[in-house]
A and B are shown apart, each in its own frame.
Chain A
């Protein structure tokens, strides 16, 4: 097995910070009344093993700088992956030129100086072990994970492969009102995507994965490979069901999606322009009393790693948001009542409120709104109990499509999963749709599971929604 070259020599952190400060100084000198610079540097590695052979290996580093300037109440932004002196000057000149053609907007501007801040202490977002692990070991994990899936059952006959990815990043944010912040984050993960074939030649694919900020918390490749195989085999022989109204049980992976729509619906940007079905609903019941939904950008989890306890920052955790405000915990829906919108500085000003520290910042463009760790508070029922109460209904494990309208709440998605008969998972179904309206669905969640597990920045337990329309044959 070949091993890849070590990561490229990087600009040292102090150089990157210096670069950000230089860009800022140049912008102010060129006529900006306020400015904000972001510098991003990242390394990525990915290996894909298919049918036991390495298929692709990728390893690289990249970096970029972004600048946002204000001239009074006008604003514009530029970005570049080229750090040469001439390019940096073009970046600055370009931003100033562009800002002059934008409109005066009384709500535009950096946050007020007293709002800036960072979560103190080590948020455990970066683990050096992700970079230290030799590539050959990573490839071996991908190979073992795929092999475990392939060996699980004779019906597993093909594979999309097993992969292993790592990514580390370093972000620096500075602005002309005195904020200076930086953080590093690490990620590693692997997965398998086996393909099962039934006696008629019908194929099904599924996958399963493990990911963490540290290699110490990755699951065993065999455990993940077997789970991927089980999830794939469950889909074999799927059929359509008749069109009908029935209860739908959402698996945690899919529940996460429909609860995630609560975050989108509560985004200040959609609220102020009346483009959300939550517009004007602050303080109103928007869901059942059993629903409490939280966004928390500060979470650090106590977990058990391969060599003992380890504290790990959540995938949605960061010390400050895209504008340099400290992240925080925001209860969006509490016992069914819409308690808070989620906002950045601009959308908060539009609504006459305060930012909730949810600014997201890409390289260019105005800040958007982004979630931290977002979740539905778990209930007390086991998933088996939730399914057990259904006489005739759908357990949905996959949805497809773009049929969610955040203006009206109309929801219509392709789905597949398992049909429930008399409280038991009876047979796999596919080529059906599930439809309803999110406003009703949030009020018709009649059961919430106790199985909340964070596998990413957002999470939800199993839940059951009554009275959805299922379209099929």
Chain B
């Protein structure tokens, strides 16, 4: 490895790292009560990066023989132009590594049988929920990712990251309409996680309940109105509205709507938002990032004031700001960049029922599909999949899905009430940025925004 790093810096780069990765994954699917799909995959490779000033050269290989690694190192090295750099000798092994999740071995046959049971139970529970449930699909996906980072700055660190997820998708049908419902969850957990309250039956009932509810949903309203977001997954609001905009690479380049706003008020004083990679067993948690740095809890917004960015090695060096252990990548095919882990809003003092009571006419949204943001102008959307009207302080009728839209640096200024019921999502989030997907978590307590644009079709 030292030889490889030496080769990588042979043209004078400032920094080089090797990222070795091995991922084994299993996927099982039940559909129409038949186990129709089962697959396993193995992916092994190494990515080599050379950084010279603001320039990055990158090459990877799925052949780990020394001549292929040296060749990749030479390819990445071409980004730099100068005399070869002397390589510091000796790696600095990471201090006592954290252990935020169980270290599982490779999947064995007995485990596959157990995983099958999970999706079979989900299938049965969803069908038993209501006779109007006509189609059920359930899937179990897990992977074991082993990574090792060796860098010219002495970093030498490794981690083994398990990840599991159970998904349920149902179709409900009555005489008048058809509706879908989805649910799922998991994390960096072993199979016993699904034996507690996060059982296959729990997720199956959730999916079925949402679908049945949607059968009777009326058109969502259109226009600006007060919006109450329920606890948990609605935290995707934070991920889109502020999280991406605070990733250091966009701010270093001045392309984020949040650029240069550190110390300024970007939310109401009731809002404190953190990104925390240290939560045990969470989908977004990691013992170390993909550059070998320890992860941490980073305060992004404190009492409404913008506090900090999420940074990787490159941005922290170029900006002179702290490295927050946020350098992540999808796989050895990819260059790491600043990414979120688990992003959530801290509890406030309000009782959730008081928050609902305070709204004369508005939307109560408790579950969402995905969201998206334009980093540069700050506009973000997230699409409600379960929402209700609030009429005279009471949650009344369910409404069809609708997209909510807002402006990142402004939207959270309208937060007027924050509940005391912080929850994180069930463990289903995958974040995409520049073509790279990484698992993340989101969360929030019940929150009231005095105004937000709701994209329904009704009045």
Name the interface residues of B16-67: CB closer than 8 Å to any CB of A: 27, 31-32, 34-45, 54-62
A274-B134, A432-B405, A472-B453 as given contacts; A60 in contact with B42, CB under 8 Å: no
Q: A403 near B59 (CB under 8 angstroms)?
A: no
Identify the stretch in B89-97, B191-199, B365-373 within 8 Å (CB) of chain A at 4 or more residues: B365-373
Q: B179 near A81 (CB under 8 angstroms)?
A: no
In the complex, chain B residues whose CB is within 8 Å of the CB of A53: 54-55
In the assembled complex, B442 has its CB within 8 A of some CB on chain A: no
In the complex, chain A residues whose CB is within 8 Å of the CB of B403: 400-401, 403, 412-414, 433, 435
Q: B372 near A57 (CB under 8 angstroms)?
A: no
Determine the residue in chain A with the shortest Cβ distance to B75. Answer: A5
A431-B407, A435-B455 as given contacts; A203 in contact with B59, CB under 8 Å: no
In the complex, chain B residues whose CB is within 8 Å of the CB of A105: 34, 36
Q: Report the interface size for chain A: residues with CB under 8 A from the other chain.
A: 85
1/0 contact trace for A101-129 toward B, CB 8 Å?
Answer: 11111001000000000000000000000
In the complex, chain B residues whose CB is within 8 Å of the CB of A469: 222, 455-457
Determine the residue in chain A with the shortest Cβ distance to B59. Answer: A60
Which residue of B135, B223, B406 has the most chain A CB atoms within 10 A of its CB atom? B223
- Contact pick for B376, options A5, A63, A94, A203, CB 8 Å: A203
Determine the residue in chain B with the shortest Cβ distance to A469. Answer: B457
Name the interface residues of A209-224: CB closer than 8 Å to any CB of B: none
Name the interface residues of A181-205: CB closer than 8 Å to any CB of B: 195, 202-205
In the complex, chain B residues whose CB is within 8 Å of the CB of A412: 220, 383, 401-403, 455-457
Q: B57 near A57 (CB under 8 angstroms)?
A: yes
In the complex, what distance in Å separates the CA atom of A2 from the CA atom of B82? 11
In the complex, what distance in Å separates the CA atom of A4 from the CA atom of B11? 12
In the complex, what distance in Å separates the CA atom of A400 from the CA atom of B375? 12
Q: B171 near A275 (CB under 8 angstroms)?
A: yes
* Nearest chain B CB to A10 CB, angstrom units: 11
In the complex, chain A residues whose CB is within 8 Å of the CB of B88: none
Q: B370 near A158 (CB under 8 angstroms)?
A: no
A60-B61, A60-B333, A273-B171 as given contacts; A81 in contact with B42, CB under 8 Å: yes
In the complex, what distance in Å separates the CA atom of A64 from the CA atom of B62? 9
Name the interface residues of B430-459: CB closer than 8 Å to any CB of A: 453-457
In the assembled complex, A422 has its CB within 8 A of some CB on chain B: no
Determine the residue in chain B with the shortest Cβ distance to A275. Answer: B171
A53-B55, A203-B377, A275-B171 as given contacts; A90 in contact with B42, CB under 8 Å: yes
In the complex, what distance in Å separates the CA atom of A57 from the CA atom of B48? 12
Name the interface residues of B170-199: CB closer than 8 Å to any CB of A: 171, 173, 177-180
In the complex, chain B residues whose CB is within 8 Å of the CB of A408: 177-180, 214, 400
In the complex, chain B residues whose CB is within 8 Å of the CB of A304: none
Determine the residue in chain A with the shortest Cβ distance to B107. Answer: A94
In the complex, what distance in Å separates the CA atom of A291 from the CA atom of B380? 33
Q: B453 near A203 (CB under 8 angstroms)?
A: no
1/0 contact trace for B213-255 toward A, CB 8 Å?
Answer: 0100000101110000000000000000000000000000111
In the complex, chain A residues whose CB is within 8 Å of the CB of B401: 403, 405, 410, 412
Identify the stretch in A166-174, A360-368, A445-453 within 8 Å (CB) of chain B at 4 or more residues: A360-368
In the complex, chain A residues whose CB is within 8 Å of the CB of B134: 274
1/0 contact trace for A421-444 toward B, CB 8 Å?
Answer: 000000000111111110000000
In the assembled complex, A151 has its CB within 8 A of some CB on chain B: no
- Contact pick for A81, options B45, B72, B369, CB 8 Å: B45
Q: Report the interface size for chain B: residues with CB under 8 A from the other chain.
A: 82
* Nearest chain A CB to B139 CB, angstrom units: 10
Determine the residue in chain A with the shortest Cβ distance to B454. Answer: A471
Q: A434 near B455 (CB under 8 angstroms)?
A: yes
In the assembled complex, B202 has its CB within 8 A of some CB on chain A: no
In the assembled complex, B381 has its CB within 8 A of some CB on chain A: yes
* Nearest chain B CB to A166 CB, angstrom units: 15
In the assembled complex, A58 has its CB within 8 A of some CB on chain B: yes
Q: A58 near B335 (CB under 8 angstroms)?
A: yes
Identify the stretch in A72-80, A141-149, A351-359, A373-381 within 8 Å (CB) of chain B at 4 or more residues: A72-80
- Contact pick for A77, options B39, B74, B379, CB 8 Å: B39
Q: B381 near A414 (CB under 8 angstroms)?
A: yes
Name the interface residues of A38-70: CB closer than 8 Å to any CB of B: 50, 53-64
Q: B75 near A4 (CB under 8 angstroms)?
A: yes
Q: A62 near B60 (CB under 8 angstroms)?
A: yes
Q: A435 near B456 (CB under 8 angstroms)?
A: yes
- Contact pick for B56, options A56, A101, A403, CB 8 Å: A56
Q: B455 near A413 (CB under 8 angstroms)?
A: yes
Determine the residue in chain B with the shortest Cβ distance to A236. Answer: B377
* Nearest chain B CB to A389 CB, angstrom units: 23
1/0 contact trace for B77-120 toward A, CB 8 Å?
Answer: 01101000000000000000000000000000100110010000
In the complex, what distance in Å separates the CA atom of A412 from the CA atom of B43? 38
In the complex, chain B residues whose CB is within 8 Å of the CB of A366: 36-37
Q: B222 near A58 (CB under 8 angstroms)?
A: no
In the complex, chain A residues whose CB is within 8 Å of the CB of B413: none
- Contact pick for B72, options A60, A98, A407, A434, CB 8 Å: A60
Q: B223 near A403 (CB under 8 angstroms)?
A: no
Q: A403 near B383 (CB under 8 angstroms)?
A: yes
Q: A274 near B113 (CB under 8 angstroms)?
A: no
In the assembled complex, B270 has its CB within 8 A of some CB on chain A: no
- Contact pick for A471, options B44, B54, B62, B453, CB 8 Å: B453
- Contact pick for B78, options A3, A55, A102, A275, CB 8 Å: A3
In the assembled complex, A160 has its CB within 8 A of some CB on chain B: yes
Q: B40 near A94 (CB under 8 angstroms)?
A: yes
In the complex, chain A residues whose CB is within 8 Å of the CB of B220: 412, 435
In the complex, what distance in Å separates the CA atom of A167 from the CA atom of B255? 28
In the complex, chain B residues whose CB is within 8 Å of the CB of A80: 41-43
Q: B78 near A5 (CB under 8 angstroms)?
A: yes
A274-B171, A414-B403 as given contacts; A431 in contact with B453, CB under 8 Å: yes
Name 6 extra pairs, CB < 8 A, besides A103-B35, A402-B369, A408-B178. Answer: A75-B38, A102-B37, A400-B374, A469-B455, A469-B457, A473-B224
Q: Mind listing 20 A-B residue pairs with CB under 8 Å? A: A53-B55, A55-B54, A78-B42, A81-B44, A81-B45, A98-B112, A101-B35, A102-B38, A235-B377, A364-B39, A366-B36, A400-B372, A401-B382, A405-B180, A412-B401, A431-B405, A431-B407, A435-B402, A471-B456, A473-B453
| Shortest beta-carbon contacts, A-B, top 5 | A433-B455, A414-B381, A243-B223, A205-B376, A403-B403
